[in-house]
Structure 1
Amino acid sequence: MLLGCIGDDFTGSSDLGNTLVKQGMRTVQYVGVPDGPADPEVEAGVVALKSRSIPVEEAVAQSLAALEWLRAQGCTQFLFKYCSTFDSTAQGNIGPVAEALADKLGAQSVIFCPAFPTTGRTIYMGHLFVGDRLLSESGMENHPLTPMTDPDLRRVLAPQVSGEVGHVAAPTVWEGPDEIRAALEAEAVAGRRFVIADAIRDGDLMAWGKALAGVPLLTGGSGIAMGLPGNFTLSGKAGRWRGQGGPVAALSGSCSNATRGQVAAHEGPSREVTAEQVLGGLAAQEVADWALAQDRMPLVYSSAEPDTVRAAQEAHGREKVAAALEGFFAQLAKALVAGGVTRLISAGGETSGAVVEALAPDALEIGPEIDPGVPVMRAGEDLVLALKSGNFGAEDFFAKAARVMEHDA
């Protein structure tokens, strides 16, 4: 194994795997830290954790365990992957995990670059944009767990790490890899170990990739991995895939603007599940029976408006509501697969993490892309998954995912 990756959620990890496969790297996503060694033909290993919103100490411990397993597989470079909207709080978890990994690896300069221009995530002068809006005006300010109200990534990261946060601006990036390396060295000399990296186009990410050849640790969204495979000698064995037919179902626990639009656009049978219903004892098996009885792709969703989410959180507590909904979707996924579903679509990072933990595959083979940042993944001989970050995907994502899952690549 050449490149070792640690993802803080399951949808983001599959997004990263998709990027690496498209660049020719044979990639496997692991569900948590594996117990045994990896297939020796794997070139990039992505250890998917569910650590984005857990206590900082737990996130750090899990990430360090993943690092040790990846080092044991022979990896020479490591990437800590988080969301392209930099989902975090004043306490973490992005900064503390990155600093712990850097300390373990002896990394003297570590970049933070969640840019993904294909999906509208760009960084300019240290500020994160979603399309033509600052992060704080993109809808992420309403996120139920990690509301993002400041687009200046330097200010967001500073309380989470030791020392002043540095920055490499876009004009330097446009000058090329040599200038990027010189800027990083200057930041390190100035005592700024952690650096926000501007990037507004794919060419910028490719330049960063070349500049980071041999660097032990980098952090960011999936886009920053775009230029990394070119630094390694690859086998050319990436991209093998066979499609999967059979019954299909879709689940959605995301409240993002994009996912709510996808839920509204779904033309098949749909059933809303509210926090009040789940907390009141709604049985996952009851909803699974309804879904399995449909003759077209069913959608079960809890993608409520921000005001509705806030009201439920105020009434019952944020953690209680989140845990109840995640547990419900986990049990629902198990019931659907037990009932014969062979193609399962899940929208939302926390929801998808709960689904994958419930189904407990050892590893996920990365397949073809559905929409930018979202691949199909094989979780078993007769089961394929599509795990979508809340903000990703076109309006017709659910229907498109069902089609892509059926076809060979």
Structure 2
Amino acid sequence: MKLGCIGDDFTGSSDLGNTLAKAGMRVVQYCGLPNSPAAPDVEAGVVSLKTRTVPADEAVRQSLEALEWLRDQGCSQFFFKYCSTFDSTSEGNIGPVAEALSEALEAGPVIFCPAFPATGRSIYQGHLFVHDRLLSESGMENHPLTPMRDADLRRVLASQTKKPVGHVAIGDVLAGHEAIRRAITREFEAGRPFIIVDAVTDAHLVETGKAVADLPLVTGGSGIALGLPENFGCRPARLDGGEGFGPMASKAVALAGSVSRATCGQVEAHRRAGQPAFEIVAADVLEKRLNADSLAEWLIEQEGVPLAYSSADPETVLENQRRFGRDTVAQAIEQLFAETARALVERGVDIIISAGGETSGAIVSALEIEAFEIGPEIDPGVPALQVVGRSLRLALKSGNFGGQDFFTKAAGILGASA
């Protein structure tokens, strides 16, 4: 194994796997800490954890365990993957995990670059934009678990770490990888080892990837991984989703727990297209009027691509949190989706489409999935996934990713029967 990756959630890890596979690496996504060595042909291993919103000390512990396993596989470089919207709070977990990994590797300078231009995420003068909006005005300020109310990544990161934070601005990035490398060295020698790097285009990410070829630790969104495989002699592969997986004798079922603007729009588009959709009301779950078995039965009885969703507008989310408690609502919804996915698979469903990082993590854990092979891309940042050693196929979509027709498009690429 050449490149060892640690993801803080399952959807982001599949996004990273997709980027690396398209760039020509043989990739396997591991769901949790593997209990056996990687196959000898694996060039990039992505250990996907569910550490984005757990207590910081727990996130650090799990990440260091993943690092130890990846080191045992012979990796020469390591990548800490977090969300392209830098999802975190002042307590972490991006800063604490990066600190721990950096110290374990004696890493020297460490860059932070969550930019992903293909999905509208860019960094300019240290500020993160979502399309033409600052992160703090993009809808992410209403995220129920990690509200992002400051677009200045230098301030956000500085609130989470004891290490001084530096910045490589767009002028150095435009000058190419040698200038980026010199700027990283300059910031490090000035006593700022954690360094935000601007990026507005994919070309900027590729140049930054070249600049960090000799650094033991890189952190960012999946976009920065565009420039890493070439450092290992890999060349781009064709995984454009044009043909998709072969057909299966299974319908596809979609489960959406994200409350992002993108997912809410996809849910509404799915309903307008006449596809069956079941709205999960938090009170019904918490007051035991809805359970996984009845929801699974309803989904199986429907035609097309049936969808169950808890996605709601920010006002509804806040009202539920005030009434029942934020963590109580989140845990109840996650548990319902996890149990529903398990009930669907027990009833013969082999294709599941999941929207939302927490939802996807709960589903993967409930289905006891150990590893995925990365398949064709459905939409930027979202690949089709084949469970290793099983007939099960999944799509794990970050809440903010995907086009309006994502659920039906994913069903087709995953090989669902009509």
- TM-score calculated relative to the size of structure 2: 0.95
Once the 2 structures are TM-superposed, how far is the Cα of residue 374 of structure 1 from its aligned partner? 0.2
Q: Deviations over 1:340-375 (max 9, x none)?
A: 111110000000010001111110000000000000
Q: Secondary structure at the match of 1:287?
A: helix
Task: Tell me by how many angstroms 1:233 deviates.
Answer: 3.0
Paired letter, 1:109: P
What are the superposed Cα offsets for residues 310-355 of structure 1, whole Å, 9 maximum, x if unpaired? 0111111111111111011000000111111111100000000100
* Alignment check: 8 A CA contact 2:115 2:224 kept: yes
Q: Which moved more, 1:292-301 or 1:3-12?
A: 292-301
Q: Is 1:388 matched with 2:397? A: yes
Matched, 1:154 2:134: no
> How far has the Cα of 1:237 moved from its partner?
8.7
Q: Judge which range, 122-131 or 155-164, deviates more.
A: 155-164
| Deviation for aligned residue 1:23 | 0.3
Q: Distance in 2 between matches of 1:233 and 1:126?
A: 31
Q: How far apart, CA to CA, are the structure 2 residues paired with 1:190 and 1:332?
A: 53
Deviations 1:353-408 (A, max 9, x none): 1000111111000000000000000015321000000000000000110111129x
Q: Write the deviation string for residues 173-219 of structure 1: whole angstroms up to 9, x where unpaired.
A: 11111111111111111110100010000000000010011210010
Q: What's the CA shift for 1:113? A: 0.3
1:32 aligns with 2:36: no
Root mean square deviation, CA, Å: 1.5
1:398 corresponds in structure 2 to 407
- Runs of 5+ in structure 2 lacking a partner? none
Counterpart in the other structure of 1:128: 128
Does the CA-based 8 Å contact 2:245-2:413 persist in structure 1? no
Q: Which 5+ residue runs of structure 1 have no aligned equivalent?
A: none
Q: 1:399 to 1:9 in 2, by over 3 A?
A: same
1:275 Cα shift?
Answer: 1.1
Q: Please list, as runs of the form range in 1=range in 2, the aligned pairs for 1:349-368 lying within 5 A after superposition.
A: 349-368=357-376
Asked if 1:57 is matched to 2:75, the reply is: no
2:380 counterpart (372, 376, 392): 372
Q: Which residue of 2 aligns with 1:43?
A: 43
Provide the residue aligned with 1:297 in structure 2. Answer: 305
Alpha-carbon displacement from aligned partner over 1:21-73 (angstroms, at most 9, x marks no partner): 10000100000010110001000000000000000000000000000000000
CA positional deviation for 1:276: 0.7
**TM-score normalised over the length of structure 1:** 0.97
Q: Is the deviation greater in 240-249 or in 304-313?
A: 240-249
Are positions 1:315 and 2:319 aligned together?
no
State how far apart, in whole Å, the 2-side matches of 1:82 and 1:57 are: 17
Q: Equivalent of 1:272, from 275, 279, 284?
A: 279
How far residue 234 of structure 1 moved from its aligned partner, in angstroms, is 4.1
Q: Which residue of 2 aligns with 1:224?
A: 224
Distance of 2:163 and 2:355 partners within structure 1: 37
Q: After TM superposition, list the pairs within 5 Å mapping 1:49-198 onto structure 2.
A: 49-198=49-198
Q: How many residues align?
A: 407
Verify the 8 A CA contact 2:31 2:47 in the aligned structure 1: yes
Equivalents in 2 of 1:367, 1:259: separation in Å? 22
State whether structure 2 residue 252 is matched by structure 1 residue 248. yes
Q: Is the partner of 2:122 in helix, strand or coil?
A: strand
- Cα offset, 1:236, TM superposition: 8.6
Could you tell me which amino acid in structure 2 is paired with residue 247 of structure 1? K
